[in-house]
Chains A and B, each alone.
Chain A
Amino acid sequence: AQSVSQHNHHVILSEAASLELGCNYSYGGTVNLFWYVQYPGQHLQLLLKYFSGDPLVKGIKGFEAEFIKSKFSFNLRKPSVQWSDTAEYFCAVTRNTGTASKLTFGTGTRLQVTL
């Protein structure tokens, strides 16, 4: 069964600092990869996704993620965080079967950005 590991459970950064959140998955086949974000009091939203093609994926609000197949990783990055990026971030994976499939989520990383 596929699994997802997020190594950072709680990250505290100052505004303008750079961000990298780690995500590793265990499935050896072709996968679809996602980052979801949950802002305080709001529902889960899709931040970015990777299906195929360019392994560097750009999402909303200046976030990007790089798929490195050899490392089974899909780390999330942002060059300069803002206070409004304070949220919980979830990495998720599903097998690429061409049809809707079940998402497996990581345990999440809580990001706190201080002024």
Chain B
Amino acid sequence: SAVISQKPSRDICQRGTSLTIQCQVDSQVTMMFWYRQQPGQSLTLIATANQGSEATYESGFVIDKFPISRPNLTFSTLTVSNMSPEDSSIYLCSVQQSSGANVLTFGAGSRLTVL
């Protein structure tokens, strides 16, 4: 299965700043997704990162807050903009495995703490 590298693995940020998380995959993948896991909660899909076009956001998530780039089939970034303490979460990149539809591989996640 694909190997996913996420950077940074963790960070502590100040309120009002923005942080960009990078997701690098060791092979070309069609589908890339960004999830959020808030403390004590489950994973929530933020958006589908589309190569060559704008990301598709889920209800409750907007591009101004979570801009996403997908310049090619192996790389994507998620920016968390104008952060507040409520944005403290683990952000995970995931990709669809080529071996079967609907089977996802996850990165290790980026743990953000906003003070």
A interface, CB within 8 angstroms of B:
32, 34, 36, 42-46, 49, 51, 90, 94, 96, 98-108
Interface magnitude class on chain B: 20 to 34
Chain B residues 4 to 28 lying within 8 A of chain A, measured CB to CB, are: none
Chain B residue numbers with a CB within 8 Å of A51 are 100, 102
Contact of A46 (CB < 8 Å), options: B31, B42, B103: B103
Contact A105 to B43, CB < 8 A, known contacts A100-B30, A100-B96: yes
8 closest A-B pairs (Cβ-Cβ)? Answer: A44-B106, A43-B108, A105-B42, A105-B43, A100-B31, A107-B42, A100-B96, A32-B102
Assess A102 versus B42: contact at CB under 8 Å? Given A44-B106, A94-B102. no
Is B91 close to A, CB under 8 A? Answer: no
Q: How far is the CB of A110 from chain B (nearest CB, A)?
A: 10
Q: How far is the CA of A62 from the CA of B102 in the complex (A)?
A: 23
Tell me the bound Cα distance from A102 to B30 in angstroms: 14
In the bound complex, residues from chain B placing their C-beta under 8 Å from that of A43 are 92, 106-109
Q: Bound state CA distance, A46 and B95, in angstroms?
A: 13
Q: Is the CB–CB distance between A106 and B45 below 8 Å?
A: no
Contact A103 B41, beta carbon cutoff 8 Å? no
Interface residues of B in 57-92 (CB under 8 A from A): 58, 92
When distances are taken between beta carbons in the complex, the residues of chain A under 8 Å from B42 are 90, 105-108
Q: A94-B102, A107-B42 known; 18 other A-B pairs, CB under 8 Å?
A: A43-B106, A43-B108, A43-B109, A44-B92, A46-B105, A49-B103, A90-B43, A99-B101, A100-B31, A100-B102, A101-B102, A102-B45, A102-B48, A102-B58, A103-B45, A104-B45, A105-B42, A105-B44
CB–CB A98/B103 < 8 A = no
Distance of A96 Cα from B101 Cα, bound (Å): 9
A42 touching B108, Cβ below 8 Å? yes
Q: List 27 A-B contacts (CB under 8 A).
A: A32-B102, A34-B103, A36-B106, A42-B108, A43-B108, A43-B109, A44-B43, A44-B106, A46-B103, A46-B104, A90-B43, A94-B102, A96-B102, A98-B101, A99-B101, A100-B30, A100-B31, A102-B33, A102-B45, A102-B48, A102-B58, A103-B102, A103-B104, A104-B45, A105-B42, A105-B43, A105-B44
